[in-house]
Amino acid sequence: MFIESVKTPGIAHLSYVIGNEGKACVIDPQLDTDTYLSIAGKHNCRITHIVETHRNEDFISGALALSNRTQAPVYHGEHADETVQYASIARDNDSFEVGKWLLKVVATPGHTKDSISLACYDTNQSKTTPIGVFTGDTLFVNDVGRTDFYPDEKEHMASELYESLQKLIALGDQVIVYPAHGAGSVCGGGMADREFTTIGFEKQYNPLLSVQQKPEFIRQKVTEHHYISPYFSEMERANVTGVDSPVSDMVIQPLHEQRVPQWLAESDKPGLLIDVRAHAAFRDSHIPGSLNLPGDLLSAYGGWLLDYQQPIAIVAEDKESARASAKQLWRMGFCNLSGYLTDVPFPLTREQQHQHSIDTVTADVVEKRLSEFKEKDWVLLDVRKRDEVESMAFPGALHTYLGHLKQYKDKFSADTHYTCMCGSGKRATVAASYLKMLGCTHVDVFTGSLQAWEAHQ
Amino acid sequence: MFIESVKTPGIAHLSYVIGNEGKACVIDPQLDTDTYLSIAGKHNCRITHIVETHRNEDFISGALALSNRTQAPVYHGEHADETVQYASIARDNDSFEVGKWLLKVVATPGHTKDSISLACYDTNQSKTTPIGVFTGDTLFVNDVGRTDFYPDEKEHMASELYESLQKLIALGDQVIVYPAHGAGSVCGGGMADREFTTIGFEKQYNPLLSVQQKPEFIRQKVTEHHYISPYFSEMERANVTGVDSPVSDMVIQPLHEQRVPQWLAESDKPGLLIDVRAHAAFRDSHIPGSLNLPGDLLSAYGGWLLDYQQPIAIVAEDKESARASAKQLWRMGFCNLSGYLTDVPFPLTREQQHQHSIDTVTADVVEKRLSEFKEKDWVLLDVRKRDEVESMAFPGALHTYLGHLKQYKDKFSADTHYTCMCGSGKRATVAASYLKMLGCTHVDVFTGSLQAWEAHQ
Amino acid sequence: MFIESVKTPGIAHLSYVIGNEGKACVIDPQLDTDTYLSIAGKHNCRITHIVETHRNEDFISGALALSNRTQAPVYHGEHADETVQYASIARDNDSFEVGKWLLKVVATPGHTKDSISLACYDTNQSKTTPIGVFTGDTLFVNDVGRTDFYPDEKEHMASELYESLQKLIALGDQVIVYPAHGAGSVCGGGMADREFTTIGFEKQYNPLLSVQQKPEFIRQKVTEHHYISPYFSEMERANVTGVDSPVSDMVIQPLHEQRVPQWLAESDKPGLLIDVRAHAAFRDSHIPGSLNLPGDLLSAYGGWLLDYQQPIAIVAEDKESARASAKQLWRMGFCNLSGYLTDVPFPLTREQQHQHSIDTVTADVVEKRLSEFKEKDWVLLDVRKRDEVESMAFPGALHTYLGHLKQYKDKFSADTHYTCMCGSGKRATVAASYLKMLGCTHVDVFTGSLQAWEAHQ
Amino acid sequence: MFIESVKTPGIAHLSYVIGNEGKACVIDPQLDTDTYLSIAGKHNCRITHIVETHRNEDFISGALALSNRTQAPVYHGEHADETVQYASIARDNDSFEVGKWLLKVVATPGHTKDSISLACYDTNQSKTTPIGVFTGDTLFVNDVGRTDFYPDEKEHMASELYESLQKLIALGDQVIVYPAHGAGSVCGGGMADREFTTIGFEKQYNPLLSVQQKPEFIRQKVTEHHYISPYFSEMERANVTGVDSPVSDMVIQPLHEQRVPQWLAESDKPGLLIDVRAHAAFRDSHIPGSLNLPGDLLSAYGGWLLDYQQPIAIVAEDKESARASAKQLWRMGFCNLSGYLTDVPFPLTREQQHQHSIDTVTADVVEKRLSEFKEKDWVLLDVRKRDEVESMAFPGALHTYLGHLKQYKDKFSADTHYTCMCGSGKRATVAASYLKMLGCTHVDVFTGSLQAWEAHQ
């Protein structure tokens, strides 16, 4: 009688396999179907049910792919407008038996209209007192789901979420909460850096769950600010029809340095180089025109800055990290991968060197520039999130969220000198690489950014 | 901010790694120190604390070995008589900071005198409301710790446990319970086949936790029956001084068939062959004198039936299962392993065939024998646990618990015909192999045993 | 500058990856495309060439699947009648550059008409003296390819092979030989249990390579005896059009015991249970009607005894061995796998017991029966290969090759008592399980078979 | 009947496991004993022999550790002066039977006095014609062993080697050569980038093996230039007494950034930070005082630049690369590892920035400096090997071999401006980091170095 969670790095997504007596149910699978087959198999269980807690907007659902491989049906909550084509409808109070587990659907609209939770009972002991609940994007550890996906219905959705949360609270203090995201997700801002909790604990400490009055709850939710990445709409489209990935995540082969210029130049479909090496290595030397997106930043900002049509090649320290990055892209639907390379050519002249590297500047230099420079000549570009800026503004900086650089690309001028900053210098390097791609020639990075500023004062 | 559990198969033991901000605490480690270093490392944490919830009696603690490799101190509850030599004392209300985690010692004597639990607080949110508790062998899912280890103080220990459980209940319904054993352990009889629960759920459904009155609780505990395996005392001795395993679990090499007769015959230290192949394969053909102990039965009955002085060789289907069995033995302190072999010689004559195989008999045959045979000639030997026999006796069978066969070995007669039975036929095969080792020549196995009997009626 | 071999168990097939300077060539790939991508990637090479040394008849070629994943072209030798549809033609003296490697095609017909070898040069040192040669099924360690695939042209093919071997000898004593099969293959009878050799060594010790005169060589080849498994023709068909496996080898899920009777009985497509557990376990207890094919015997005899239309379920000791067996079947084109089960039900009555088990008999019993029994009543069935029988006949035994049991199934009578024998008792158990499937009710296995007989004398 | 090679990265060392019929012999094992046990086990073989081809000087032999774990004896060639304490002597013509393999000792002094080769016979086919030979450091692919380890006996050793090579040639053209090093080793300069060859091929193409006359051979050998790393003497001492590693290679834990300053400053044993990140990342930002030694450079130059007494901490991109580096150090006997860290603090001021980074300069800048600068002010420091400098000198550069920087550390002046160069810029970055460690404040790296220079011309 097991519950195992699978954490997908980058998007901090949590999917689950719950099983007993030879049967298993997978909740919110990613495209990596082998992972779920392997967990179920380890417990000698056959996957008999697949459930989606809602139509995911931040990754391609693996439900259809898993269903094709296992013949298990997919269940999905009800939605008046758009019916998920590969799923049966799971309505409030419907239930599934998975061995001695009983999973009961609790309709919990609010984050989306089709959101459901699954209360989970160990029928050896009780069919009325649940031991756990899979809350999807409705309730997280220390946060609740965002309710801004229907711009015209923000109040309504917040109201729905309030009612849904009351239903979860009513399940009892003893219930363990299994949410669909952990800290680091774009699906909620205040998640704790801890991935397990109970209804009893959240009731007391979750800032929004402890709001007693519905109007106050609605007021707080409608004034929240979240970003909506442009790739969300792509994911939503994909997750209505369903995707059984046409390519395997494993196939990424070396692409050799000599072939890169030709590859980049192919006129009808010029390629994009994504450099997933560490920020420091990128700043020291990179292929001109490449975009730095290391580690989790690839998942966090790839959906904002990349293009589904453009062929992509990866620059990585080694093949393992190239492969991991390819997998992140694959989960977001970017399948047009030409290969990877692990060597970066060096510049031959001082002029080229400028194109191959990005300078860093320290806090004292930024301080001096702020006191000396005037408008047009120099811009200190702060690419943090709005929430971060609101809680700690940086006087003198121009704020443009990193995710918005593509949208506002026409606003950047090739002649302006930009110093990019963020909280630590990491996103600033991504921003600097993007500005360079746009043709800005005078770009540097405020090393340490806000952390350095504070230490320097 | 993570908690990861490590389940040790065979003894159904659960150890934990809890970490945050670069520090990690390991609770009740096994000898497999790499496992804990690997989990802590995955989260970029250094092991800074090791805690034992009590002096374990069913395996060799890995605390000293892990401490030697990490320089982290070991903490252990207080015990008037025997002080664990490699540990500092953890007293009631002592606390450890592991990043933002706070672990607070709750002295919970009852199972043993030195038993402690560790209440666990996420100090980002609360230093007063715990989110979890590591309960050692004090509280399990659906059961509580056994209290029979001090034969003269059974009532006293049960009373202690009652008080300890009240302390755990007082932590609140919202607390997630992390016990030291799951279903299948010898440390409690009624554990659920589910490894996660909360105080709130247990308060309602755990049969013993819901007993309101202390005298009734004591009455139930003192009338419980548990077996005490003879190897427990060996483990206890080892776990007072501490063991940093002199041998690695990895070193088990093939031992070739031709060398076996010589190896078995070495006069000063005759070896024992443990055949860990499936029951069916063993019954069809095995090396005369070998003992069948496949899968989890090796952990469950090895401590009863084996001898610490005797060299051991393993007969296995392949090297992977030989290695897994070697690891099980190593965790129990059996380090005298000569090798393994994967081939079993065949008998040449009908007489030898008898020594190389064990017959099975079906329910109808047993029924017939029961109605026909008389005392001395034939014995139907039921080797189940006392609890099983009490809940479903088998008329006509002589009961001797499988673990007791060695202790009562003089009672078995070479001339008697024994038919071994248990719940399913598996332990019966172990028993039959043991009786054959003792020199009984007429031994068979009731295939399916109780399950078959019920299906047959 | 690397050459790595990949050995496929069961069919003892050897494929190769050869690479340098970012490019790699794969020779005779199996369907497991990940293996080759992973080896090439480890050396930072992109697969740029795929070569088949001939149209394989004992497994499904992975060339098309690998080509689809890498866009690398496939090359194949010339064949007047049947052109491999997914490949370009590689003619004598064609050559491929793979970094500093030069691979030169040597047309070596004989085993098949389209057989080629690839001489391999390290151009850093010499473009005229090869360092290695990939010989496909033309030359093995201690043997040469069989020449019996075109029944009407046996002499011609033997003559072709003789000429081809002279071309290989002419490459020089210093050449390392990389054949497509090692010991245990059905593609040649006398291969050494060693997988590496040189032209110089073979010239001296390979029995057929040391035959000086062509007529004598032809005489020896045409009098050789080989079996042609019926699945060969299926493989040949598949390997002309090419197969990009529609199913992944990874997807095999548990199938529960309770569902088996229903699954077996489905009228339009009754399923077949393949029991891949060890012989001994099978003999002790199995599901009536199941066929024992453990380990390599699945690859060796599956093609003879199975049916491409029949749904298959696997009975295994655990999921790992079920998965390994599924993979063996997948490589032979058997994709209709319903699942696996790891529990075998026990018989309830003495009558059922007979159906659930197979008895073994020892050498002394066989001796006695041979001297007592008369024709119709009892048959000692020797299922060894013809070569084995010829080199050591067993007086009194009826010989039918294990692979021929299906073909001659009408010759077996339900009333006859069969004792199956082979070299060691393993294939005898397979035969016994097949006879039981056919409805023979009185079947046993001569344990140890020839080995036991010799030891007994 | 198998031979498997194990390649140890960094030092390009090749060890071998050869086995048959349940027995295996390991030749020149590294400390990673599990690797050999695992290979032998895969073939169902027990390690029964361990042979060292000579006393290794570039790594700690694992022979004693493996012998302790397997009870297999160690054999080593004869040496008048220093007897390896844990080994029996293997004399010319001694032989070992490993199943059907016969290994015959061929005394091949020259590289060292105790060097032996092992001719290897498949006794199924011939006890007189070998199929392979393990040549240790006597014969490599395209090179022969260095003969400069006894400075007073260079001519004698070269003469010995010549005679030894004649013995190997006499084994026959058909013999496959298994050397102890591949390309990249410090044990020979001209090895091919291919790890397999035959006597026949080497006889024709190996530059030194094809030298017909002994005097000419000696002349060439005594004029060769090789470096002798100072750690060689440490290894030699260790390999006379034998080492059974007191620490496991697996134990390296995170060391947090905050603790580093204290750790570095501990007065009695100041620690050294080895930064194994890529050159580019190191140049952009590193902890002042740390030494850059990424990838194979750690093995190649660690023995030159590190100190056996100094505690070491590793700065790495992630824990996997920290662990791989720890393992490289462990094989060279550096066991004093305090931990690793994955974060590098940023500088706060422009002054600090200078300490935290290393500038790169391009070819055009170097050209300009060469034409303008005069002696004392600026030095272009070429750290390549003497052979490289001899084959392509760089006018205007001062040559000091990278391995010699420690030895000549007093020659570097804090006031001089150094631009480091090598073949590609990689070793130049190591040199720059070392000069900075010594206190030089004005250090930069010629990016691309010779490659850039050539492309620039």
Look at residue C293 in the predicted model and tell me its pLDDT. Answer: 97
Q: Which residue has the higher pLDDT, C408 or D187?
A: C408
In a domain, A126, yes or no: yes
Cβ contact D174–C125 (<8 Å):
no
The 10 Å Cβ neighbour count of residue D316 is 21
Between B19-28, B334-343, B398-407, D367-376, the lowest mean confidence (pLDDT) is in D367-376
Q: What's the CA gap between B403 and B229, in Å, rounded? A: 7
Q: Are D137 and D185 within one domain?
A: yes
The 10 Å Cβ neighbour count of residue C223 is 9
Q: How confident is the model at residue B183 (pLDDT cuts 50, 70, 90)?
A: confident
Q: According to the 3-state scheme, what is the secondary structure of C349-393?
A: CHHHHHHHCCEEECHHHHHHHHHHCCHHHEEEEECCCHHHHHHCC
In a domain, A96, yes or no: yes
Alpha-carbon distances of C192 from A453, C139, C186, C245, D102, rounded to whole Å: 73, 12, 13, 33, 16
C256 in contact with chain A, both atoms CB, cutoff 8 A: yes
In a domain, B400, yes or no: yes
Cβ contact A192–B20 (<8 Å):
no
Q: How confident is the model at residue B288 (pLDDT cuts 50, 70, 90)?
A: very high
Look at residue A374 in the predicted model and tell me its pLDDT. Answer: 66
Look at residue B376 in the predicted model and tell me its pLDDT. Answer: 67
Token code pair at residue A175: 């219930």
Q: What's the CA gap between C155 and D220, in Å, rounded? A: 56
D283, amino acid identity: R
Q: Are D10 and D116 within one domain?
A: yes
The CATH number of the domain where A411 resides is what? Answer: 3.40.250.10
Q: What is the mean pLDDT of chain A?
A: 92
Look at residue C259 in the predicted model and tell me its pLDDT. Answer: 73
Q: Which residue has the higher pLDDT, A58 or D131?
A: D131
Between A208-212, A437-441, C48-52, the lowest mean confidence (pLDDT) is in A208-212
Cβ contact A250–C319 (<8 Å):
no
A317 in contact with chain D, both atoms CB, cutoff 8 A: yes
In a domain, D175, yes or no: yes
Look at residue A405 in the predicted model and tell me its pLDDT. Answer: 97
Look at residue B247 in the predicted model and tell me its pLDDT. Answer: 65
**Count of domains forming chain C:** 3
Q: How far is C71 from chain A (nearest CA, A)?
A: 11
Look at residue A184 in the predicted model and tell me its pLDDT. Answer: 74
Q: Which residue has the tokens 């039959």?
A: B432
Phi, psi at residue A425, to the nearest 5°?
105, -10
pLDDT at A336 over 70: yes
Look at residue C456 in the predicted model and tell me its pLDDT. Answer: 87
Look at residue C374 in the predicted model and tell me its pLDDT. Answer: 66
Q: Mutating which of B25, B33, B44, B320 best tests the D interface, going by the most D Cβ atoms within 10 A?
A: B44
Q: Which residues pair with D49 in a beta bridge?
A: D25
Tens digit of pLDDT for each residue in D335-353?
888 899 998 989 999 999 9
pLDDT at D233 over 70: yes
Q: How far is A22 from chain B (nearest CA, A)?
A: 14
Chain D residues closer than 8 Å to B22 by CB: 254, 256
DSSP B402-449: GGGTTTTGGG--TTSEEEEE-SSSHHHHHHHHHHHHHT--EEEEETTH
User: In the listed set D312, D331, D349, which residue is the last one of a domain according to the structure?
Assistant: D349
Cβ contact B198–A205 (<8 Å):
no
In a domain, B214, yes or no: yes
Cβ contact B172–A129 (<8 Å):
no
Cβ contact B20–A201 (<8 Å):
no
Q: Mutating which of D247, D249, D253 best tests the B interface, going by the most B Cβ atoms within 10 A?
A: D253
Provide mean pLDDT across the span B360-383: 88
Q: CA B407 from chain center: how many Å?
A: 19
The 10 Å Cβ neighbour count of residue B391 is 9
User: In the listed set D208, D241, D274, which residue is the last one of a domain according to the structure?
Assistant: D241
Are B246 and D68 in contact, with CB atoms under 8 Å apart? no
Token code pair at residue B99: 């990043």
The 10 Å CB-count burial string (b at 16+, else e) for B213-242 is eeeebbeebeebebbebbbbebbbebbbeb
Provide mean pLDDT across the span B259-273: 78
Among B350, B376, D70, A113, residue whose Cα is nearest residue C359: B350
Cβ contact B196–A205 (<8 Å):
no
Q: Are D142 and D45 within one domain?
A: yes
Q: How confident is the model at residue B210 (pLDDT cuts 50, 70, 90)?
A: confident
pLDDT at B374 over 70: no
Cβ contact D353–A455 (<8 Å):
no
Q: What's the CA gap between A410 and D450, in Å, rounded? A: 41
Q: Are D274 and D322 within one domain?
A: yes
Are A9 and A28 in contact, with CB atoms under 8 Å apart? no
D377 in contact with chain C, both atoms CB, cutoff 8 A: no
Chain B residues closer than 8 Å to D41 by CB: 253-254, 319
Q: Which residue has the higher pLDDT, D167 or B55?
A: D167
DSSP C218-251: HHHHHH------THHHHHHHHHHH----SS-TT-
C343 in contact with chain A, both atoms CB, cutoff 8 A: no
Cβ contact A131–B196 (<8 Å):
yes
Beta strand spans in A391-430 (E): 398-399, 417-421
Q: Which of A2, A124, A205 sits opposite B126 (nearest CB)?
A: A205
Q: Are B104 and B17 within one domain?
A: yes
Q: Which of A3, A126, A192 sits opposite B205 (nearest CB)?
A: A126
Q: Are C265 and C172 within one domain?
A: no
Token code pair at residue A165: 């949360």
Among A306, A362, A354, residue whose Cα is nearest residue A329: A306
Q: How far is A321 from chain D (nearest CA, A)?
A: 11
Cβ contact B448–C317 (<8 Å):
no
Q: Are B306 and B413 within one domain?
A: no
The CATH number of the domain where A184 resides is what? Answer: 3.60.15.10
In a domain, C9, yes or no: yes
Token code pair at residue D113: 């006095």
In a domain, A193, yes or no: yes
Q: What is the mean pLDDT of chain B?
A: 92
Tens digit of pLDDT for each residue in D349-386?
999 999 999 999 999 999 999 988 666 689 999 999 99
Return the C-alpha torsion angle D214, D219, D220, D226, nearest 10: 120
Q: Are D344 and D365 within one domain?
A: no
Token code pair at residue B211: 């007993």
User: Which of D:32-91 have CB within 8 Å of B?
Assistant: 34, 37, 40-42, 44-47, 69-70
User: In the listed set C299, C330, C349, which residue is the last one of a domain according to the structure?
Assistant: C349
Q: Mutating which of D319, D447, D456 best tests the A interface, going by the most A Cβ atoms within 10 A?
A: D447
Token code pair at residue A83: 């019916």
Among B155, B73, B82, residue whose Cα is nearest residue B113: B82
D280, amino acid identity: A
Q: Which residue has the tokens 């605390």?
A: B63
Cβ contact A37–C253 (<8 Å):
yes
Sign of CA dihedral B430, B433, B437, B440: positive
Look at residue A376 in the predicted model and tell me its pLDDT. Answer: 66
In a domain, B248, yes or no: no
Q: Which of B41, B69, B251 sits opposite D319 (nearest CB)?
A: B41
B285 in contact with chain C, both atoms CB, cutoff 8 A: yes
Tens digit of pLDDT for each residue in B390-424?
999 998 999 999 999 999 999 999 989 999 999 99
Q: Which of D124, D196, D200 sits opposite C192 (nearest CB)?
A: D124
D338 in contact with chain C, both atoms CB, cutoff 8 A: no
Look at residue C61 in the predicted model and tell me its pLDDT. Answer: 95
Tens digit of pLDDT for each residue in C174-232?
999 999 998 877 666 678 888 899 999 999 999 999 898 999 999 999 999 899 999 89
Q: How far is D177 from chain B (nearest CA, A)?
A: 29
pLDDT at C10 over 90: no
Token code pair at residue D374: 């005069």
The 10 Å CB-count burial string (b at 16+, else e) for A346-375 is bbbeeebbbebbbbbbbbbbbeebeeeeee
Q: Are A345 and A362 within one domain?
A: no
Q: Are A86 and A166 within one domain?
A: yes
Q: Which residue has the tokens 């009098």?
A: C223
Q: Are B85 and B218 within one domain?
A: yes
Residue C301 lies in domain: 260-349
Q: Are B296 and B428 within one domain?
A: no
Tens digit of pLDDT for each residue in D49-84?
999 999 988 899 999 999 999 999 999 999 767 788
pLDDT at C82 over 90: no
Q: Note the ipTM here.
A: 0.93
Token code pair at residue A393: 């503004």
Tens digit of pLDDT for each residue in A118-168?
999 999 999 999 999 999 999 999 999 999 999 999 999 999 999 999 999
The whole-model pTM stands at 0.94
Chain B residues closer than 8 Å to D46 by CB: 253-256, 339
CA atoms within a 13 Å half-sphere pointing along the CA-CB vector of A215? 0
Query: Rounded to the nearest 5 degrees, what angle is found at the Cα of D129, between the Cα atoms of D123 and D134?
Result: 85
Which chains form contacts with chain D, at 3 or more CB pairs under 8 Å?
A: A, B, C
Chain B residues closer than 8 Å to D34 by CB: 250
Cβ contact B248–D339 (<8 Å):
no
Q: Which residue has the higher pLDDT, C9 or D158?
A: D158
Chain B residues closer than 8 Å to A178 by CB: none
Token code pair at residue B73: 């101190």
Q: What's the CA gap between D118 and C120, in Å, rounded? A: 27
Provide mean pLDDT across the span D419-424: 96
